Chain A
Amino acid sequence: MQRVGVFVCWCGSNIAGTVDVQAVSDALKNEPGVVFSTNYQYMCSQAGQDIIKNAIAEYKLTGIVVCSCSPRMHEATFRKTAAAAGLNPYMVEIANIREQCSWVHKDILTGTEKAIILGKAAVAKVNLNAPLTPGETPVTKRALVIGGGIAGIQTALDIADAGFPVDIVEKNPTIGGKMAQLDKTFPTLDCAACILTPKMVDVAQNENIRIFSFSEVAKIKGFVGNFDVTIKKKARYVKEELCTGCGACTEKCPMKKVPNEFNLGMDTRSAIYIPFAQAVPKVARIDPDACNMLKKGKCGICSKVCAAGAIDYTQKDQYIEEKYGAIVVATGFNPISMDKFDEFAYSQSKDVITSLEFERLTNAAGPTAGKLLRPSDHKHPHTIVFVQCVGSRCDSCAEKGKEYCSKICCMYTAKHAMLTRDKYPDTEVYVFYIDVRTPGKNFDEFYRRAVEEYGVKYIKGMVGKVTPEGDKLKVQASDLLANRQLQIDADLVVLAAAIEPDKSARPLATMLTASMDTNDFFTEAHPKLRPVESPTAGVFLSGACQGPKDIPETVSQAGAAASKVIGLLAKDKLTGNPCVAHSDEMMCNGCSTCERVCPYGAITYEDKEFRMPDRTTKIRRVASVNPAVCQGCGACTVACPSGAMDLKGFASAQIMAEVDAICK
């Protein structure tokens, strides 16, 4: 029999206001096993904790029940108190008589009655508690960052700076991500390349960082501190270690008409190419869909002109296996496809473009060398219409749009409009908006400058349709404040397309057993208090893979994720959660049900030798739980048809005892 102590907290008047705390501690005194019961104003205070410590020593308590706030609030506090007094911390039970009782009841009689019942349930449970000791696992002191955009770059730099080795896996031939495609950045209008490319060079030169460019994560096994990852290095047909990035091959390549993805198909590149001048690593790649040598075995010019002898037409995909202690997801975003928005004529006219295409059209390294020219006839546009929220905040069109606000469009549209009016004062610039959302530092000032200093015409309303007619785009829109319908003859229409998580995120989440929301954004462990951690231990989130974000926010989240990784890698051993599942091998029938429901991949089956009563041996297939991977969710315990699975600290017998105590 346990010797249980009960400690009822008043929480000032938070509990004592609607619960008669004296009556609760008196009632619980008579419960089985209870040898001491008291109440105090603030049990979590130093004085309150001392009451607990003294009682443990004086009454030789083997278990305690604290009737107080939610265990989310102070369970850890009281476990520490118990441990300091020499009691196993898992011999502490919390009865939540605040959130689940005093705060929801107005009548003191009802509140008191319920508090007593909750206390009885906790006492019934603690009577069946057993001391638990968390296990320890070693930590591999290396981090993996998946995605080499500004989020991944910043996270990798910060982790490397703390002295830990980091690998970046980037699916494209170069790191840099979306930010490398941008022209200027709001609200300061620094040139994106000027602030990004030095960071890319830092990454390349940092001896703690390895870049796996043009690579993908193929397989992930293991758990926090001990991930086994297989990285697929896709064949680029150029030996990375030999290529000097001189560019001779790209000049001589005869296949020059390949759409250039870096400029979103608005110009062309050669079949062997370096994505852009500041690419890191600055190594060429052959596009096998365009290269004559790879398609037909005829040509080979690049290998003849390559002084370094780097061309290798026979290169194959390579698989690399590596161990990591922590994984950071930084897979980023893409603008959604505009193909289904027929009303804006995106697929009918070259002069209806997305904002990212506009970004390339105004970039000095872009297809027009920074001159704003219409894609159709390379003429200077005079009337430009920007449409915001295209596909954002769209809850009735799940097949083409997104329900959420994409967050960054208001600001980049203000930037585009302002820069256009600044460089080309002869243009008329309209912005159609539903709401202008500018809640960042210096953001609203920036938007107002676009209106007040640069004369951008902001119109509250949405564009209904765009019709190409001759060399004009007829824009029909509503001006809600003036209660009229507008017809504008535009030369260029720019759509602020909603953004969505990169398509690689969903399969990656499956490999990581990390959770995602319905929009395929990674879910954080707690939306406010643990925003850069995935609920899956050892997996961290950086940048737009977790939700739409601008650059300042991405960089701060990247740093936060890095600090969490550093905190993990700084440890030599990890203490696990001892409340994990375990299987009673004598009862297990080897059916694999638990293995299938486990969201963390913690359960495996093994063939084990058992001694039978008649002294023979028999080999049976039984489940075994890896306690370092198990998160204690309990899914297996309810799925197990033979009742072999149980959760330590939350055993079925304990739960039933609680239910019995409540129903008595």
Chain B
Amino acid sequence: MNNQNLKEEILRMSGVHPEKCMRCGKCSGTCPAYSEMEYHPHQFVSMVDNGEIEPLLNSESLYKCLSCFACIERCPRGVEPAKLVEAIRLIAIRRQGANHMTANDVPALLDADIPQQAIVSAFRKYSK
């Protein structure tokens, strides 16, 4: 897929309208995984909008997102950055051989500090 098709695919899968973003940065101000991420929630929005999708597809950031959805909850414009992350992650996973880990790897990584929601999200992410 070329960039334009990829972008359209991501927007269709996620239902996100990146043009609604007013560049306030509240998503990144709110993100608990910010320091772990190479690309931050607000960058996902602007990069998808600009069609710069390959760097996101290849970035570890896809798997650092906790899927806590704080960015969705706090965004004043209803842009929903985490849905973009989710859609790009799905595209990466659907590409053959691009699985980052298998479901069997998840239990070994659990520790008491991980919120329940993140575990559920992890299973959803990796069990495709």
Contacts and interface: CB of A to CB of B under 8 A. Distances in A.
A434 B28 contact: no
Interface stretch (A58-66, A351-359, A461-469): A461-469
A476 interface: yes
A483 interface: yes
A389 interface: yes
B25 A394 contact: no
Nearest to A465: B30
Q: Which of B25, B26, B40, B70 has the most CB of A within 10 A?
A: B25
A395 B79 CA distance: 10
B78 A485 contact: no
Interface string A374-414: 00000000000000010001111100010000000000000
A461 B35 contact: no
Contact of A476 (B20, B29, B43): B29
Q: Which of A343, A395, A396 has the most CB of B within 10 A?
A: A396
B29 A393 contact: no
Interface in A459-483: 460-465, 476-480, 483
A476 B70 CA distance: 13
Given A389-B24, A434-B23, A434-B24, A485 B29 contact: yes
Interface residues of B, number: 23
B35 A485 contact: yes
B31 to A, nearest CB: 7
Interface in A419-473: 434, 460-465
Interface of B: 20, 22-31, 34-35, 40, 42-43, 70, 74-79
Contacts of A460: 25
Contacts of A434: 22-25
Nearest to A462: B26
Contacts of A395: 20, 76-78
B76 A483 contact: no
A432 B17 CA distance: 25
> Top 6 closest A-B pairs, CB basis?
A396-B78, A464-B29, A464-B30, A462-B26, A478-B29, A478-B25
B40 A483 contact: yes
Q: Which of B27, B29, B31 has the most CB of A within 10 A?
A: B29
A396 B76 contact: yes
Given A393-B76, A483-B40, A461 B22 contact: no
A434 to B, nearest CB: 4
A562 B82 CA distance: 52
Interface in A477-493: 477-480, 483, 485
Nearest to B34: A485
Interface of A: 343, 389, 393-397, 401, 434, 460-465, 476-480, 483, 485
Contacts of A483: 40, 43
Contacts of B25: 434, 460-462, 477-480
A461 B29 contact: yes
B29 A462 contact: yes
B29 A477 contact: yes
Given A395-B76, A480-B28, 6 more contacts: A393-B76, A394-B77, A462-B26, A462-B29, A464-B26, A478-B29
A397 B26 CA distance: 14
Nearest to B72: A396
Contacts of B40: 478, 483, 485
B76 A463 contact: no
Q: Which of A477, A483, A485 has the most CB of B within 10 A?
A: A485
B30 A396 contact: no
A484 to B, nearest CB: 9
B76 A461 contact: no
Nearest to A400: B76
Nearest to B29: A464
A462 B74 CA distance: 11
Q: Which of A463, A464, A480, A483 has the most CB of B within 10 A?
A: A464
B75 A480 contact: no
Contacts of B20: 395
A485 B28 contact: yes
A389 B77 CA distance: 12
Contacts of B76: 389, 393-397, 401
Nearest to B76: A394
A247 B35 CA distance: 59
Contacts of A389: 24, 76
Contacts of A397: 76, 78
A478 B54 CA distance: 25
A343 B74 contact: yes
A476 B27 CA distance: 11
Contacts of A465: 29-30
B75 to A, nearest CB: 6
Contacts of B79: 396
